[in-house]
Amino acid sequence: MNVLLISAYELGRQPFGLASPAAWLRQAGARVVCFDLSRETLPAEAVSVADLIAFYVPMHTATRLAVALLPSVREMNPHAHICFYGLYAPVNEAYLRGLGVETILGGEFEEGLRSLAAQLSKKEAAPSTSLPPQQEPVISLARQNFITPDRADLPALEKYARLVMPSGEKRDVGYTEASRGCKHFCRHCPIVPVYRGAFRVIARDVVLADIRQQVASGAQHITFGDPDFFNGIGHAIPLIEAVHREFPRLTYDVTIKVEHLLKHENCIPQLCDTGCLFVTSAVESIDDAVLQKLQKNHTRAHFLLAVEMLRKADLAFQPTFVPFTPWTTIEGYCELLELLREHNLVENVAPIQLAIRLLIPAGSLLLELAEIRGGVGAFDGAALVYPWNHTEPRLDRLCETIQGIVHSGEKQRLSRSRIFERIEDAAFDEADDSATGRRSAHDGISKRATPILAARATVPYLDEPWYC
């Protein structure tokens, strides 16, 4: 049984979503080849000999890229069984099946892939038998006994996003997961329609073994890709303590909700003592009304408390945002920029985070809101979203402008602070033009009351910022 596993994009990381199922399939006797198309070209010969071709789709961008590749893959091998697996597979099931995808696997997908490969092997041994309709659950939340991921044929870590230190030093970065799913129900989150509050841990010895092999391959820093590292505090803290005992010079970063940072404030020193450099948190907005609609379970005040708490602990805070929503106002966007400047967070925020527009994918809990249901168009299969336009066209125009500034700035390799200044110029100019800005031309107040002095980043960060 020849299995081809394909990742189109996974945030600049070596894909755990290929390495983990590769180990399961190889253990079951399959011949597995993995390709990460964000770092390498897919050769026609690998496609032509595959019996099973499985696309890993953990996010919106990855799914669109995989769908775009599907026709050429089909042309190269019209007989292979096509599978899509990952978070975005089950929520787009109807659309994907319409494209000829035969198996859809979401949630805990490793067992499903192994079962599918076994069925295809039986058919290979008896070609006259027909393969029954999908036997594996489209969404599985079964508790799996994970095994150590197999990263043997993935591109070297040095080809992926690297950690940039304030000194300018760069470090190779590994990536692993200690848990999946999430206990929370944030309305805009793509995890919720699949896991529905379920949370699954990966055994500590498996995580340690995965980190061990990546350190042996040159990793000096590890990103834990858990949706929320503190979902299972009793699992997380002993794990990082064990990692630090074995690799005292290894650093790492984690993602933690604002709510959990405040709830588990007593655990912050343990993050510092075990090598954590920064914490990413999906803040999303500084508008309490918007945060309530998104069911984030934190407020603007909570966010600022978390900022100060981590700053006192000498941990860098990297907030992420969804600044363009149906509820965004020009004043609110400018207020976000002012807050980031006032609290010295400009260097902490990747510029792309100031350009992100709310996605409403299939299955989104945002559709629970009547104002969203009434404001979106019919589902766009090609874009994989319910389209929406802001009631104030200038907000859509500003979003496009900011996206252009970010992409242009990154192409020119401008600093975060310089890109931020250009974003400010565009936002406050739009506010002035609309006569609704908090700082208009006639009030005599400078847009940059507090100048940005940093010539380069003052916090550690990954040089390929993520987005969905």
- Check residue 465 and give its pLDDT: 74
The CA angle 24-235-25, to the nearest 5 degrees, is: 0
Helix or strand or coil: residue 456? coil
Length reported for the chain: 468
Residue 53 amino acid letter: I
Average pLDDT over residues 183-201: 96
Least confident of 164-173, 213-222, 249-258, 455-464: 455-464
The pLDDT of residue 217 is above 90: yes
- 11 compared with 357, residue with greater pLDDT: 357
**Quick one: pLDDT band at residue 430, thresholds 50, 70, 90?**
very high
Report pLDDT for 468.
60
- Taking each continuous run of H as one helix and of E as one strand, the counts in the chain are 17, 15
83-93 pLDDT, tens digit each: 999 999 999 99
HSE-up of residue 164 (Cα within 13 Å, Cβ side): 16
Residues 293-303, mean pLDDT to the nearest whole number: 98
To the nearest whole percent, how much of the chain has pLDDT over 70? Answer: 94
Say how far apart CA 2 and CA 419 lie, in whole Å.
47
- Domain range annotation of the chain: 2-139, 156-321, 322-463
- A 10 A CB-CB count for 84 gives 29
In this predicted structure, what is the pLDDT of residue 110? 98
Whether residue 11 has pLDDT greater than 90: no
Q: What is the pLDDT of residues 43-84, one digit of tens each?
A: 999 999 999 999 999 999 999 999 999 999 999 999 999 999
Q: Is the pLDDT of residue 215 over 90?
A: yes
pLDDT of residue 443: 45
User: What are the two backbone dihedrals, phi and then psi, of residue 357, each rounded to the nearest 5 degrees?
Assistant: -110, 140
pLDDT the model gives residue 72: 97
Residue range 332-357: average pLDDT?
97
What are 129-170's pLDDT values in tens digits? 677 889 999 999 999 999 999 999 999 999 999 999 999 999
DSSP string, 359-407: ---TT-GGGGSHHHHTTB-S-BTTTTB--B--SSHHHHHHHHHHHHHHH
Cβ-Cβ contacts under 8 Å for 303 (sequence gap 6 or more): 258, 283, 286, 319
What is d(CA 199, CA 195) in angstroms, rounded to the nearest whole number?
A: 7
pLDDT one-digit tens code per residue, 399-422: 999 999 999 999 999 999 999 999
Q: CATH classification of 2-139 is 3.30.360.10, yes or no? A: no
CA 21 to CA 27: how far, in whole Å?
10
Collapsed DSSP state (helix, strand, coil) of residue 290: helix
Say if residues 223 and 253 touch (Cβ distance below 8 Å).
Answer: yes
pTM above 0.85, yes or no: yes
CA dist 84 to 13, 42, 181, Å? 19, 17, 18
Measure CA 290 to chain center: 21
Question: What's the DSSP call for residue 132?
Answer: P
Q: What is the mean pLDDT of residues 337-348?
A: 97
Label residue 7 left, alpha or beta by phi (over 0 means left) and psi (-120 to 50 means alpha): beta
Of 434 and 365, more confident: 365
Q: Which helix (H) or strand (E) holds 195?
A: helix 192-195
177 band by pLDDT with thresholds 50, 70 and 90: very high
pLDDT for the residue numbered 128: 66
> What Å distances lie between residue 389 and 75, 281, 372, 397, 430, CA to CA?
37, 27, 11, 10, 18
CB–CB of 160/220 below 8 Å?
no
Look at residue 464 in the predicted model and tell me its pLDDT.
87
In this prediction, residue 451 carries a pLDDT of: 52
Select from 332, 328, 321, 340 the least CA-distant residue to 281.
321
Q: Which CATH class is domain 156-321?
A: alpha beta
pLDDT at residue 94 greater than cutoff 50: yes
Strands 199-201 and 461-462: unpaired
Q: What digits encode the pLDDT tens for the residues 231-284?
A: 999 999 999 999 999 999 999 999 999 999 999 999 999 999 999 999 999 999
The pLDDT > 90 percentage for the chain reads 90
User: Over 80: is that where the pLDDT of 103 sits?
Assistant: yes
Q: What Å distances lie between residue 27 and 3, 35, 111, 383, CA to CA? A: 13, 19, 12, 37
The CA distance from 444 to 439, in Å, is 8
Label residues 161-196 b or e (16+ Cβ within 10 Å = b): bbbbbeeeeebbbbbbbbbbbbebebbbbbbbbbbe
Residue 218 has pLDDT above 50, yes or no: yes
